[in-house]
Amino acid sequence: MNTKVTVAFLNFVTDKSVQNNIDQVLTLMEQAKEKGAKWVFLPELWTHQSASLDEFRTLSKQADQIVLTQVQKACQMHQLVCFAGSWTETSTHPDKFYNTQYVIDEKGEVISKYRKVHLFKMDDGSPDPYRETKKFVPGESAVTCQVDSWKVSLSTCFDIRFPEYYIACAKEGPVDVITVPSAFIQRTGRDHWEVLLRARAIENQAYVIASNRLGAHEDPRIKAYFGHSMVIDPWGTVLLDTKDELGVFTATIDLQRISEVRTLLPLMKVKQYKKDIY
């Protein structure tokens, strides 16, 4: 059995046009295939952006209608598994959406999806602090899925600050990969991004694959995204950091590396004997 998979980040700058952003992704998927990737990764809410809440809602409805089918066709065409980041999924609320992460296999079929549980908020003392609750309805479930021989935990951006979420994902056994499509901003990213990602990799002894957005945002509360999409191995070593660069970037992950780390430090076995404490 081949224990290795080549993964790729598709790095680009999002603009207001949903179709323009889809077209960028389709081009990058073709390039990723040419570079030998098997799995490709996109960031959080890559399909559109706007500082206007009304415009964001209009674009969100459009994204819900047109993105999925086009990405599915590209996965099938290029025989790629796409961890498709997230976009807006219509909810029962008239003006709010789910922030939904999709996993699409090489046949173009959705094999899993996850609705972001922890919605970002930041109180910076401004009269109108940033609140994702103005746009989104939170998900209610931790989600894992099986992709080939890999058990994958799905999470999104702000989730990375809550290690309890990943404990819930591992209730039925340890996971091999944690996905973190993100829109981490520069203000928090420069101090917290790598630290949090490496911590989750170390404590779960799993690969963390975190695709983060790039570029400026017209909303002054956001200003700009941090970039630095990263692949981190189960020891906490950063295998790939794309910094603020655009294009396709690849790394190779290996199930054997997970086995080596878990043999050296048998955290999961130790936990079994501590059930009376936690």
pLDDT of 87 over the 90 cut: yes
Within a domain: 127: yes
Within a domain: 104: yes
Within a domain: 132: yes
Kindly report, residue by residue over 211-252, the tens digit of the pLDDT.
999 999 998 888 999 999 999 999 999 999 999 999 999 999
Please give the single-letter amino acid code of residue 40: V
Catalytic site residue from 38, 44, 113, 169: 44
Q: How many CB atoms lie within 10 A of CB 34?
A: 10
Catalytic site residue from 82, 116, 132, 145: 116
Give the C-alpha separation, 142 to 103, whole Å: 15
Within a domain: 278: no
SS (H, E, C) 55-112: HHHHHHHHHHHHHHHHHHHHHHHHCCEEEEEEEEEECCCCCCEEEEEEEECCCCCEEE
What domain range is 216 assigned to? Answer: 4-272
Would you give the DSSP letter of residue 205? T
Kindly report, residue by residue over 119-178, the tens digit of the pLDDT.
999 887 778 888 999 999 999 999 999 999 999 999 999 999 999 999 999 998 999 999
Within a domain: 73: yes
The CATH number for 162's domain is: 3.60.110.10
Within a domain: 277: no
The predicted structure's pLDDT at residue 125:
79
> How many domains are contained in the chain?
1
Within a domain: 247: yes
Kindly report, residue by residue over 46-83, the tens digit of the pLDDT.
999 999 999 999 999 999 999 999 999 999 999 999 99
Within a domain: 171: yes
> Structure pTM?
0.97
The predicted structure's pLDDT at residue 124:
79
Q: Is-catalytic flag, 157?
A: yes
